[in-house]
């Protein structure tokens, strides 16, 4: 009877642990946004922090347009003058699945105040993303971005993890970023702060 030596068995256990840790970290960090796009390596590791910028320090959002999951064309500039929440997500990402209900709940509460929400679905097929949206009854639209290139249109405070949530002020500038899963109370608070601004 062949008995596996202890050392190789330990190596197998160690390899399994390394694989599990890699899977857990797949939703955040420097690989969360494709860094090979246009040779850009300007992304920092996700830190799960919430950043708020003073108006004078806010970078302007670039041109953001593309196809929504339903195939229609969308241009973010059509929402200029409104507070906009932009959430980068993928159905393959556990924190994205966990925060989806909170995002939709805040959207349904705050859209009457002129707040718009936009999802940016990254690194997956359209059918998989559409199923996710339909099954969770998400009411706001999502851009289809399988190559994850739209992240480059948010300079200065780019999405550096999946998920990342950005709050855009009425002037089309990035006011806030939450790197990692955002919670209901955090989102309500940061949206209320942006809505309260009059500049």
Model confidence pLDDT, tens digit, residues 13-69: 444 443 443 334 446 544 444 433 333 333 333 567 899 999 999 999 999 999 999
Q: Which residues of the chain have pLDDT under 50?
A: 1-5, 7-8, 11-26, 29-45
Phi/psi-derived region of residue 127, left when phi > 0, alpha when psi is between -120 and 50, beta in every other case:
alpha
The pTM of the full predicted model, rounded to 2 decimals, is 0.79
Looking at residue 11, what is its pLDDT? 46
């Amino acid at each position: 009877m062949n008995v596996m030596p202890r050392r190789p068995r330990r190596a197998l256990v160690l390899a399994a642990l390394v694989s599990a840790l890699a899977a857990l970290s797949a939703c955040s960090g420097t690989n969360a946004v494709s860094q090979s796009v246009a040779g850009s390596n300007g992304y920092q590791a996700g830190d799960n922090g919430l950043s708020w910028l003073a108006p004078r320090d806010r970078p302007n959002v670039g041109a953001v347009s593309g196809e929504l999951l339903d195939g229609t064309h969308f241009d973010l500039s059509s929402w200029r003058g409104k507070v906009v929440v932009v959430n980068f997500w993928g159905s393959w990402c556990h924190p994205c699945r966990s925060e989806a209900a909170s995002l939709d709940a805040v959207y349904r509460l705050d859209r009457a105040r002129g707040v718009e929400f936009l999802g940016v679905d990254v690194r997956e097929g359209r059918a998989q993303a559409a199923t996710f949206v339909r099954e969770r009854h998400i009411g706001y639209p999502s851009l289809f971005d399988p190559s994850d290139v739209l992240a480059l249109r948010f300079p200065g405070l780019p999405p550096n993890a999946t998920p990342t949530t950005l709050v855009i002020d009425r002037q089309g500038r990035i006011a806030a970023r939450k790197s990692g899963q955002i919670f209901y109370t955090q989102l309500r608070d940061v949206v209320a702060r942006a809505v309260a601004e009059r500049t």
